[in-house]
Structure 1
Amino acid sequence: MSNTAENIQLLLADILSFHEELEKVFAMEKGIHDHGLLESAVHAPFQTFGGEDLYPDVYAKAARLCFGIAKDHPFRDGNKRTAVHAALVYLTINSIKLHYQDIELETAIIDVAAGNMTSDELAYWFQQHTDAKS
């Protein structure tokens, strides 16, 4: 993990570790389908243009990370699981606690993967499910 001025950033190695742990728990095809897509998904939330963050807050960054992994399918299997886990860990290490029913989160990630929810909509979903104390 890398500590930036405004938040803590997950690294490629972190995402790979998350995925490997999920492979141990769930029956799924192991391995990476496309390393380039994985790198893109992991680095996209932290891109800038003209010195400005393209994803300006922790919610937008978490959503873009989740969206990239879920939509780009960099792993052979378990992309939605890894996407959700990465986003939840990212939010947690940045002191954001979400409150949701499992079915709500499941529906959201299925909507993302199916193209029925945008990255901006997912960021809003995260905000709406944030503990008021975060």
Structure 2
Amino acid sequence: MIAWLQKDFVLAIHHHQIGRYGGQAGVRSEPTLDTVLAPPQRRRAARSTAPDIIDLAAHLAFGLAHLRPFRDGNLRTAQISYRLFLACNGMTVTTGNEEKYQHLQALAEGRLSQQEFADWLRTRVRVELRVNDAGAGYVLD
């Protein structure tokens, strides 16, 4: 089962990041945010070979960082969201914050493709064997 981040949870992440680090709060484009959050589930259902968790995390990071659905704080929201998505699915990114930021910045600026970001993530993820309990921020599929 895959644990998906729900829209209200991503909005809470964004709100927290703006409150803590500053910037203009709010959604710039509701349809863009919906597009960013919905396709991983549809993509998984539509493909004969389902994308794995890493592909889905890269899609989420790309959508939030590159498509910029929020007025401000898109990179911060993307950074927390893709890492929480991985954590909810039993994975941890094992590299330092600077490397994570540099790769996300490159993804946002188009210097790194979504697939290249996924390939980088594959070399930096550790699987955590644990039981995830359903929480308010994600839904098991």
Alignment TM-score > 0.5, same fold: yes
Would the aligned equivalents of 1:8 and 1:90 in 2 still touch at CA under 8 Å? yes
Instruction: Rate the CA distance shift 1:63–1:72 in 2: closer, same or farther, 3 A.
Output: same
Would the aligned equivalents of 2:92 and 2:126 in 1 still touch at CA under 8 Å? yes
The answer for the alignment partner of 1:76 in structure 2 is: 71
Instruction: Rate the CA distance shift 1:92–1:49 in 2: closer, same or farther, 3 A.
Output: closer
Match of 1:122 among 117, 120, 135: 117
Match of 1:34 among 24, 29, 33: 29
Residue identity matched to 1:47:
R
| Cα displacement (A) at 1:39 | 0.6
Instruction: Rate the CA distance shift 1:133–1:18 in 2: closer, same or farther, 3 A.
Output: closer
Instruction: Rate the CA distance shift 1:51–1:41 in 2: closer, same or farther, 3 A.
Output: closer
TM-score by length of 2: 0.84
Residue identity matched to 1:130:
V
Instruction: Rate the CA distance shift 1:120–1:54 in 2: closer, same or farther, 3 A.
Output: farther
Residue identity matched to 1:24:
G
Moved over 6 A (4+): none
Q: Which has the higher contact order (CA 8 A, sep 6+)?
A: 2
Would the aligned equivalents of 2:94 and 2:126 in 1 still touch at CA under 8 Å? yes
Give the paired residue count: 129
CA distance in 1, matches of 2:18, 2:48: 33
Instruction: Rate the CA distance shift 1:11–1:54 in 2: closer, same or farther, 3 A.
Output: farther
Residue identity matched to 2:51:
P
The answer for the alignment partner of 1:59 in structure 2 is: 54
**What root-mean-square deviation, in Å, do the aligned CA atoms of Structure 1 and Structure 2 show?**
1.9
The answer for the alignment partner of 1:3 in structure 2 is: none
CA distance in 2, matches of 1:82, 1:49: 23
Would the aligned equivalents of 1:32 and 1:76 in 2 still touch at CA under 8 Å? yes
Percent of paired sites with the same residue: 24
Instruction: Rate the CA distance shift 1:31–1:123 in 2: closer, same or farther, 3 A.
Output: same
TM-score by length of 1: 0.88
